[in-house]
Amino acid sequence: MTTATYEARALGVHSGMPAMKAARLAPDAVLLPVSFELYRRHSRLFKDALRTISPHIQDIGIDEVYADITLLDGASHAIAQRLKAVVFEATGLTCSVGIAPNKLLAKLSSDMQKPDGITVLDMADLPSRIWPLPARRINGIGPKAAARLESLGISTIGELAARDKVWLMEQFGRSHGSWLHDAAHGRDERPVLTHSEPVSMSRETTFERNLHSVRDRTELGGIFTRLCEQLAADLRRKGYAGRTIGIKLRFDDFRTVTRDLTLHEVVADATAIRQAAGLCLKRVDLRRALRLIGVRVSALERAGAPVSAQAQQSALDFD
DNA sequence: TCTGGGGTCCTAGGACCC
DNA sequence: TCTGGGGTCCTAGGACCC
């Protein structure tokens, strides 16, 4: 399942669930085909619409943004209503808006009144409205961290906030522990970034049936080459080239391995990617059947960057 | 009952350099 | 005669997000 309506969610269906399990939970549900083309179009429409009100927008995904509305006129609630109105006008879709002093709390707020909700929050609301929530609701605390916290007797954000920062740093490491403490106290200084450069691009596919490197050699080779071609097309379309080529394999036992190789020069064409990826593949024990392969390019550079921008090389060494 | 695809960031060890 | 203290880059894996 890619997603589910709120009616289906009430029956326990959620994204990532196998179709047969969803069918058992919601036997009367209507299964619709996915159309990422359609979603991308609406994504563009809703982001463009938002920009007419607040140009300072950070793209998070296909259906999510942060907006810095510090300098906008009007009360928070009225701004939220305007944002929702332009989105509905452009797409016919409802959305939920959270307004808070920082991104961490805004994200938390936006989840509090779904669907079609508005939540306005300030620091004073922390003890009454945030602290009772499960720690897992913090963006960045996933299943593993939540389980770890649970084993330490911490279920809610409030219980996390009550713990000593130094103790958290001992349990979770300096950086993560300190972040957990700050997050539980609603502290977050990250700015709203309106532009970011991609770090990597990849293509991967899960097979209809598991494939074996020897028995299904031809089929596997064809899929591998096609992924490289698609990746090369993505790079070309977006205007990037990369120096590190990597592969990802998932075996029939769900174990995942990656291998990568950094080249001397950036590449963007399918042949070069395929060749480097082939070298990576040779470094993996392929006795088990595969369920997924993927190809990735990282260490990206803008392709066709102006040559004049290249610095003059010189060396200086102290005597 | 098997578990998608496309990303980001972090950690940690080893190679290598000054 | 194995001995310091920084630093960067490369590689592999893992947590997490939409």
A83 CA vs C13 C1’ separation (Å): 41
pLDDT category of residue A309 using cuts at 50, 70 and 90: very low
Point out the residues of A that are catalytic: 64
DSSP β-ladder status, A64-67 and A57-61: antiparallel
CB of A2 nearer than 7 A to strand C: no
Q: Which tens digit of pLDDT belongs to each residue from A162-176?
A: 999 999 999 999 899
Cα distance between residue A293 and residue A222, in whole Å: 12
Question: pLDDT value at position A312?
Answer: 46
pLDDT at A99 over 90: yes
| Nucleotides of strand C under 7 angstroms from a protein beta carbon | 9-18
Q: How confident is the model at residue A34 (pLDDT cuts 50, 70, 90)?
A: confident
d(CA A252, CA A288): 7
CB-to-strand B under 7 Å, chain A 174-233: 174-176, 198-206
- Go through chain A and tell me how many residues it has: 319
Domain boundaries, chain A: 6-102, 103-196, 200-302
Instruction: Classify domain A6-102 at the CATH class level.
Output: alpha beta
- Which residue type does A57 have? I
**Residue scoring higher pLDDT (A273 or A40):** A273
Number of Cβ within 10 Å of residue A149's Cβ equals 23
Please give the CATH topology (third level) of the domain spanning A103-196.
DNA polymerase; domain 1 (1.10.150)
Give alpha helix (H) positions in chain A.
Answer: 6-10, 19-25, 36-51, 76-91, 103-110, 143-151, 157-162, 165-172, 174-184, 217-238, 270-282
Task: Please write the tens of the pLDDT for every residue from A268-279.
Answer: 999 999 999 999
Task: Give the phi and the psi of residue A95 in degrees, each rounded to 5.
Answer: -150, 170
Question: Is pLDDT at A244 greater than 80 in this prediction?
Answer: yes
Under a CB-based contact definition with an 8 Å cutoff, are residues A266 and A230 in contact? no
Report which of A111, A123, A103 is spatially closest to residue A56, judged by C-alpha positions: A103
Query: Residue A306 above 50 pLDDT?
Result: no
Residue A173 CB lies within 7 Å of the nucleic strand B: yes
**% residues pLDDT > 90 (chain A):** 81
Average pLDDT of A191-210?
95
Q: Identify the three-state secondary structure at position A168.
A: helix
**What digits encode the pLDDT tens for the residues A130-186?**
999 999 999 999 999 999 999 999 999 999 999 999 999 999 998 999 999 999 999
Closest nucleotide to the alpha carbon of A16, via C1': B4
**Residue A204, phi then psi, degrees to nearest 5:** -145, 160
Hits for CB < 7 Å against strand B across A residues 92-111: none
Q: Name beta bridge partners: A67.
A: A57
What separation in angstroms does the CA of A44 have from each of A48, A68, A192? 6, 19, 19
Does residue A143 approach strand B to less than 7 Å at its CB? no
Take residue A80 and report the two structure tokens written for it. Answer: 């939220």
Return the CATH number of the domain spanning residue range A200-302.
3.30.1490.100
State residue A308's pLDDT score.
39
> Closest Cα partner for A102 from A192, A175, A181?
A192
